[in-house]
Structure 1
Amino acid sequence: MTDTTSDPQVGTVVAERQVHLTRDALVRYAGASGDFNPIHYRDDVAASVGLPGVLAHGMLTMGLAVQSVSEWLGDRGWVTSYGVRFTRPVVVDPADGADVGVVAKVATLDEQGRPLRIDLTVTAAGQTVLGKAQVTVAFH
């Protein structure tokens, strides 16, 4: 990725990524996180509570999104805070899975002109799935 810490501008894209989620990935995440809510792996349970299908874990979606910023920072800095609003679920089709897109842009600069806040646009199926996704970063 480009080193946007040398002369960044508000609005500069610092990272972009597409992540393909499968039902297998949801089951693995459930095992790692301990979140075995069946709406994350069983269509019948998801339908019985009025959901459009099996949903990706919100924390999985949140983690995938901030990973793009962490990778961009590398060993130059770190994430100091991160917050989102869950606005829409990510429905993971049993055959096709789901694609989650992330675009990370500089929102504000610190006193030295380095990126301070990064805003994330996170989408799936053409809709924003995380609102007010904001990452505050610091540099060495």
Structure 2
Amino acid sequence: MTEAALLPEVGTVLPEREFPIGRADLVRYAGASGDFNPIHWNDRAARAAGLSGVIAHGMLTMGLAARVLAEWAGGADAVEQYRVRFRRPVEVPDDGVVTVSVRGVVTARQPDGRVTVELTVHGGGKKVLSAASAVLRPR
């Protein structure tokens, strides 16, 4: 079988991944990223900013989707391009978790083996990222 035959075809669906996010995860992410904006850990500050409550860091949500791509492609170095638009924030309850789900499908394949993957990302059942796509190169 040739290497080209082993490459994913248009329509190939990436396995769906789900990530539970709680307030403790936001604190850990704030420490790792240096983003201590109180809208990510304090309900009063979030409401003062016009939000309904604490929200996850947008870059955390984007990073979870990128993780799905990297794992599926066999490593982060296979991700050549990656883009998203933040559609709505992921609201994180104070007494539980919200689930971020990431799905992907191969929508194009180039002759050199590169593939375009379109992602669908939901947080708490609501679409949180739009225009999410990546170009992956074969490994």
Q: Deviations over 1:16-49 (max 9, x none)?
A: 1000001000000000000000000000100111
Aligned residue identity for 1:32: A
Partner residue, 1:41? 41
Paired residues, number: 135
Using a 3 Å threshold, how does the CA distance of structure 1 residues 13 and 20 change in structure 2: closer, same or farther?
Answer: same
Identical aligned residues as a percent: 45
Partner residue, 2:122? 123
Conservation of the 8 A alpha-carbon contact between 1:107 and 1:115 = no
Conservation of the 8 A alpha-carbon contact between 1:106 and 1:115 = no
Whether 2:138 is the aligned partner of 1:139: answer yes
For structure 2, which runs of at least 5 residues remain unmatched after alignment? none
Q: CA deviation at 1:107?
A: 1.2
Whether 2:38 is the aligned partner of 1:66: answer no
- Distance, in Å, in 2 between the alignment partners of 1:8 and 1:33 is 34
Partner residue, 1:14? 14
Given the two structures, how large is their TM-score scaled by the length of structure 1? 0.89
Partner residue, 2:95? 95
- Distance, in Å, in 1 between the alignment partners of 2:69 and 2:7 is 17
Conservation of the 8 A alpha-carbon contact between 2:70 and 2:76 = no
Q: CA deviation at 1:8?
A: 3.0
Q: CA deviation at 1:11?
A: 2.3
Using a 3 Å threshold, how does the CA distance of structure 1 residues 50 and 67 change in structure 2: closer, same or farther?
Answer: same
Q: CA deviation at 1:115?
A: 5.1
Partner residue, 2:30? 30
Q: CA RMSD in A?
A: 1.7
- Distance, in Å, in 2 between the alignment partners of 1:76 and 1:48 is 38
Partner residue, 2:109? 109
Partner residue, 1:55? 55
- Distance, in Å, in 2 between the alignment partners of 1:76 and 1:52 is 34
Aligned residue identity for 1:19: F
